[in-house]
Amino acid sequence: MQRTRFIQGLVVIGLISTLGCPEDAESLLGAPANLFSTSLVLLDGSGGVASTFGRGEPITLRLELTNRMSSTAVLTFPTGQLFDFVVLDSADTEVWRWSHGRVFTTVVTPLEFAPNETRTFTVVWSQDDNTAKPVDPGSYHAYGLAPVSEVGLTSDRVPFKIE
């Protein structure tokens, strides 16, 4: 809870520096969920949107984070990590996370978005789990997020199958 409030505070500071100080700065807590949109698409080897993949076929995950405002906005991240991707199995058990085992700078990182700007973050998943073992065929779902997700910057879950 304390970490969540700290991260929300960083987001508020970033928004206040862009938008000016409202009478009730606390009212901005949670605002990024309304001020930004997130979406995830899964792409096959030819770059087309897909929901079924062959076993071992690389899957491209593309997260789009969009400033929905007509003014500049700043998101402030608690580290150098700006995005993440997660794959869950049909039992909602995490099988893969892009950031698993990675190290990020521990410096607060502001990211400025122009009005209506979209930033795209892309990774290719080789269908290995967090222990580097190939996942089994079956039903999965994935989502992408900005690490300030405590205030709602997480995409919807996108279902897909591995055959």
The closest alpha carbon to 129, from 114, 140, 119, belongs to: 140
Instruction: With beta carbons less than 8 A apart as the criterion, state whether 58 and 46 touch.
Output: no
Reported in sequence order, the residue ranges of the chain that DSSP labels E, i.e. its strands, are: 36-43, 52-53, 59-67, 73-77, 84-89, 94-97, 109-113, 118-125, 138-145, 158-162
Token pair belonging to 35: 């001020």
Is the pLDDT at 95 greater than 50? The verdict is: yes
Bigger pLDDT: 76 or 86? 86
Residue 13, SS3 per DSSP:
helix
pLDDT digits (tens, 9 = 90+) for 132-147: 999 999 999 999 999 8
Please tell me the CATH code under which domain 2-162 is placed.
2.60.40.2360
CA distance 122 to 144: 10
Instruction: With beta carbons less than 8 A apart as the criterion, state whether 88 and 156 touch.
Output: no
Q: Which of 9-23, 69-83, 120-134 has the lowest mean pLDDT?
A: 9-23
CA distance 67 to 31: 12
pLDDT digits (tens, 9 = 90+) for 12-58: 434 434 444 433 333 344 445 578 999 999 999 999 999 999 999 99
Instruction: With beta carbons less than 8 A apart as the criterion, state whether 96 and 129 touch.
Output: yes
Instruction: Report, as an integer, the average pLDDT of 81-100.
Output: 97
- pLDDT recorded at residue 8: 45
Q: What's the gap between Cα 2 and its chain centre?
A: 21
- Assessment of whether the complete model's pTM goes beyond 0.75: yes
Report percent pLDDT > 70 for the chain.
77
